[in-house]
């Protein structure tokens, strides 16, 4: 979580410096206050005014030409995080060997906050033994390294050495700084369960799992230790403890093995399953079969009944007014219920947006506008963090 955090972005002299302008924009959008340092070589690839327009402050470009009395030490103390992107082989070598001959290397050596390096260079330079040794030294210092990747390089070449994408660097920065979730475990369930009728068919629902996965990603960015139990085959944050399941029984077993501080039960669990599944495919030629149904386990209730119980968030995907969801929140005894009407445009299954109402234990409601599911996740976690803070 970068909201309100101070990030010093150090740009060094490589063609990938043009991506650092977009990185600065993404950091600002994430809520960070960004200052920029540029080496003399970086100025050959991208102009200082570009960063000034993006961050609202003119970059620092020289050790002895800044308005600050001691720019490298003052900026080193100002920052919560130092990002070096791109980090050239020359800068990596200077810092690894304690050579502070320019503003960027002097600041990195002077700082005591976390440092995130995004190397970028030609493949031959990346594979050189000196680069390998220097990076190993920096890892020993506790520095964080992201990338590089395989892709297009300067001069039409292709290979290992392409700088990590700005979005990946922003995520890594959030992971390093963490947030209010440090030291707290969060369980998130996602997706719709599938209850087998036979080896081919199943009873299920239209849940895509996008909302639950968005919540898991947002929780990780805030520093929570996240376990994601999901039926959905969607991309997941590499820091998530991922447990893939299919049926309600499998989800119940997975949830039972997690002891969280917060449980966010976003999965759409099927209410019923066939009492017994056929061992082989039921032939159409045999006519319409009779399928006896039985209830699936109430996973949400199993969490609420724990002693001690986690702060529990339930979900209600309904097709009517909010009154039914308010009653459900009371009956389920959850700390917070997230209601959405799946018949509303943009709020149904499989969409990238959602319109939800948050319902607390007293029955009070907060209606959110139509938002991206990623933003709904952030708003929900704001409420969770505030409630936990009130509970002490």
Joined together, the tokens standing for residue 224 give 């929570």
CA 109 to CA 346: how far, in whole Å? 50
CA 104 to CA 257: how far, in whole Å? 47
Catalytic residue among 97, 134, 205, 354: 205
Whether the ω angle into residue 95 lies within 30 degrees of 0, i.e. cis, is no
Closest CA to 75 of 49, 112, 101: 112
CA 263 to CA 311: how far, in whole Å? 6
Q: Is 354 a catalytic residue?
A: no
261 Cβ contact partners less than 8 Å away, ≥ 6 residues apart: 184, 185, 186, 310, 311, 388
Collapsing DSSP to helix, strand or coil, 126 comes out as helix
Collapsing DSSP to helix, strand or coil, 356 comes out as coil
Joined together, the tokens standing for residue 250 give 């499998």
Burial degree of 206 (CB within 10 A; 0-12, 13-18, 19+)? exposed
Q: Are 91 and 104 in contact (CB under 8 A)?
A: yes
Collapsing DSSP to helix, strand or coil, 359 comes out as strand
Joined together, the tokens standing for residue 6 give 């101070």
Collapsing DSSP to helix, strand or coil, 354 comes out as strand
Joined together, the tokens standing for residue 186 give 């969060």
Question: Which residue in the block uniquely carries the two structure tokens 């304690």?
Answer: 98
Q: Which residues are catalytic?
A: 205
């Amino acid at each position: 979580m970068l909201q309100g955090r101070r990030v010093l972005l150090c740009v060094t002299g490589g063609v990938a410096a043009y991506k650092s302008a977009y990185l600065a924009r993404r950091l600002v959008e994430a809520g960070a206050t960004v200052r920029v340092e540029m080496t003399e070589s970086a100025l050959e690839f991208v102009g200082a005014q570009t960063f000034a327009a993006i961050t609202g402050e003119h970059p620092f470009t020289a050790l002895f030409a800044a308005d600050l009395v001691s720019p490298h030490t003052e900026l080193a103390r100002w920052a919560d995080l130092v990002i070096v992107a791109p980090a050239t082989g020359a800068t990596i070598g200077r810092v690894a060997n304690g050579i502070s001959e320019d503003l960027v290397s002097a600041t990195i050596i002077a700082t005591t906050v976390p440092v995130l390096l995004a190397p970028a260079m030609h493949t031959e330079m990346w594979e050189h033994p000196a680069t390998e040794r220097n990076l190993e030294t920096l890892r020993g210092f506790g520095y964080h390294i992201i990338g590089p990747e395989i892709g297009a390089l300067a001069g039409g070449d292709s290979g290992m050495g392409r700088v990590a994408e700005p979005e990946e660097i922003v995520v890594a920065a959030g992971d390093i700084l963490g947030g209010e979730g440090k030291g707290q475990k969060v369980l998130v369930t996602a997706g719709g369960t599938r209850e087998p009728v036979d080896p081919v068919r199943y009873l299920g629902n239209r849940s895509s799992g996008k909302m639950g996965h968005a919540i898991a990603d947002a929780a990780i960015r805030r520093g929570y230790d996240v376990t994601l139990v999901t039926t959905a085959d969607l991309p997941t944050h590499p820091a998530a403890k991922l447990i893939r399941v299919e049926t309600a029984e499998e989800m119940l077993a997975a949830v039972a093995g997690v002891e969280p501080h917060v449980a966010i039960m976003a999965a759409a669990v099927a209410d019923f399953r066939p009492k017994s599944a056929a061992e082989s495919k039921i032939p159409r030629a045999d006519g319409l079969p009779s399928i006896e149904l039985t209830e699936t386990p109430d996973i949400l209730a199993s969490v609420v009944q724990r002693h001690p119980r986690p702060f529990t968030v339930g979900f209600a995907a309904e097709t009517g007014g909010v009154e039914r969801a308010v009653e459900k929140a009371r009956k389920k005894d959850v700390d917070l219920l997230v209601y959405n009407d799946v018949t509303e445009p943009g709020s149904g299954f499989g969409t990238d947006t959602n319109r939800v109402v948050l319902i607390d234990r007293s029955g009070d409601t907060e209606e959110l506008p139509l938002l991206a599911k990623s933003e709904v996740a952030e708003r929900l976690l704001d409420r969770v963090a505030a409630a936990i803070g009130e509970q002490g």
